[in-house]
Amino acid sequence: MKPQSQELKEALRQEYTKCGNDPAYFIRKYCVIQHPIRGKIPFELYPFQVDTLNEVLNHKYNIILKARQLGISTLTAAYSLWLMTFRNDKNILVLATKQDTAKNLVTKIRVMHSNLPGWLRQTCIEDNKLSLRYKNGSQVKAVSSSEDSGRSEALSLLVLDEAAFIDKIDTIWAAAQQTLSTGGQCIALSTPNGVGNWFHRTWVDAEEGVNSFHTIKLHWTVHPERDKVYRLEQDKLLGPGLAAQECDCDFLTSGQMVVDGTILQEYKDNHCKDPMMKQGIDSNVWIWEPPDYTKNYIMSADVSRGDGSDYSAFHILEVESMEQVAEYRGKISTKEFGNLCVNVATEYNDALLVVENNNIGWASIQQIIDRNYQNLFYSSQDLQYVDVEHQLTNRYRAQDRNLKPGFSMTMKTRPLVIAKLEEYFREKAVIVHSNRLIDELFVFIYNNNKAQAMSGYNDDLVMSYGIALWVRDTALRLRAEGIELSKKTLSNFSNPNQLMYTPGSKDDSWKIEIGPNKENEDLKWLL
């Protein structure tokens, strides 16, 4: 019996050593997974999973762009278990956008751990829903995303699960890099979620060799049991947009971008260019075309909240061609911004100046009024009336028509502005030169059915541009409708003597005699 016992110990020692040297062997032979239908089953690795594991082993920083349901999160859990089992004092942190998502990976580790044979299983001294700690000093902990995530002791492995969806990940990664400086690994894995976010930028930079990440791309076709029928079923199940995100590893067709990513990329490739000059004290006034005194312009401005988290921004568009000729994005005081708007708008032939009047926007509007700028946009309270001929030149008429200076972004007008923005880009009816604007549009997404910037990003250029498109389109439409109305109204008067046109007068206006006192009412507003 003694020789047999010795042989058994030697066999176990050899098996333990083999598992410690070959994680793929360890996972195949000893790790089990919880299948939703079949229960606990062995983790049979597909060839692409083995290849992925080997690539992770050979690189410090790994970014994995993957399709859904390829078992990569489970593979990461198994690799984490292998590290904890065969290496002492390994500190693993799993971070995801939600605590439940991070907890799921720890749960997978726990299931695998509890089903290991006794001679292979490490002694566990701490076991709860969010963490697992071994007697050998190794541990794994799950946390949700926050700016303080990753600011802990030195990490052996950082797992960023569904990294494209983690809020404030730029700040998190900046902090986490310090904790990995002693030689720790990082695995950032995710399906794509549009472009412009940390995951997309990191992937692109990695492909170009700008950062230290090793790229691993796992298209849905790597799975040996999936074919075109499966892909068509995903379209039906998820819808084309979400299916593209979950299956195709295509950043441009993924996410919930308000404007189609392929259209934005086309603009970036074919229309965006460096400005011909940069002006202003902060060099943030970008000029692509100088003023042409034969053309009309519209300037649309969005004033920052003043808390330092956003920007004041404006665009100048040539009204007829819809070409972007100038742009500003910067952080200056509301008074300085109001003065800047007046100065630049004046240069561009006294451009129609549209300023969003929400909250702090009034401070800039007041500065514009104090400067007596004569072409400030006024709108009615319900935005049903836009004074095209005189935006501010007639104070009496502004009051008479219940007008107020600026543009009001409300629950009613915001979806109209965004719909107009999407329509113009879809029809490719605008000419955009600004990379800054296109970059904001890449991260301008639908979140819970509301169009807004992705968490951690800004939409100041987007919203000010959308307002410009809405006002331009609405003003032209209402003007056309007004002209037609005036023609019909004037043609309906039976007595031509009632009409009086006074050429050469101060305002060169149409007038009609009304009322018992035969007072002349100005009809120019109809035109």
According to the model, what pLDDT value does residue 381 have?
58
According to the model, what pLDDT value does residue 179 have?
84
According to the model, what pLDDT value does residue 516 have?
43
According to the model, what pLDDT value does residue 359 have?
75
* CATH 3.40.50.300 residue spans of the chain: 2-255
What would the CATH number be for the domain defined by 262-478?
3.30.420.240
According to the model, what pLDDT value does residue 306 have?
60
According to the model, what pLDDT value does residue 510 have?
39
According to the model, what pLDDT value does residue 217 have?
94
E strand map for 53-111: 61-66, 91-96
According to the model, what pLDDT value does residue 386 have?
47
Can you tell me which residue has the tokens 């303080």? 148
According to the model, what pLDDT value does residue 166 have?
86
CA dist 152 and 286 (Å) reads 42
* CATH 3.30.420.240 residue spans of the chain: 262-478
According to the model, what pLDDT value does residue 202 have?
93
CA dist 302 and 341 (Å) reads 11
Q: Residue 254's closest CA among 446, 112, 440, 95?
A: 446
Cβ pair 31, 78 in contact under 8 A: yes
According to the model, what pLDDT value does residue 255 have?
65
CA dist 474 and 419 (Å) reads 13
Q: Collapse the DSSP code of 524 into the 3-class scheme (helix H, G, I; strand E, B; otherwise coil) and give the result.
A: helix
Paired with 137 in beta bridges are: none
Mean pLDDT (10-residue bins), the chain, 527 residues: 74 92 95 85 93 95 93 95 95 87 89 93 90 93 70 83 86 85 90 85 91 93 90 83 79 76 88 92 92 93 76 92 94 91 94 86 89 85 48 41 78 86 91 94 81 83 93 66 47 46 41 43 43
CA distances from 321 to 351, 372, 465 (A): 15, 29, 15
Cβ burial of 164 (10 Å; 0-12, 13-18, 19+) is buried
What would the CATH number be for the domain defined by 2-255?
3.40.50.300
pTM over 0.75: no
Using only the alpha carbons of the chain, give its radius of gyration: 32
According to the model, what pLDDT value does residue 388 have?
42
Q: Return the H-helix or E-strand segment holding 353.
A: strand 352-355
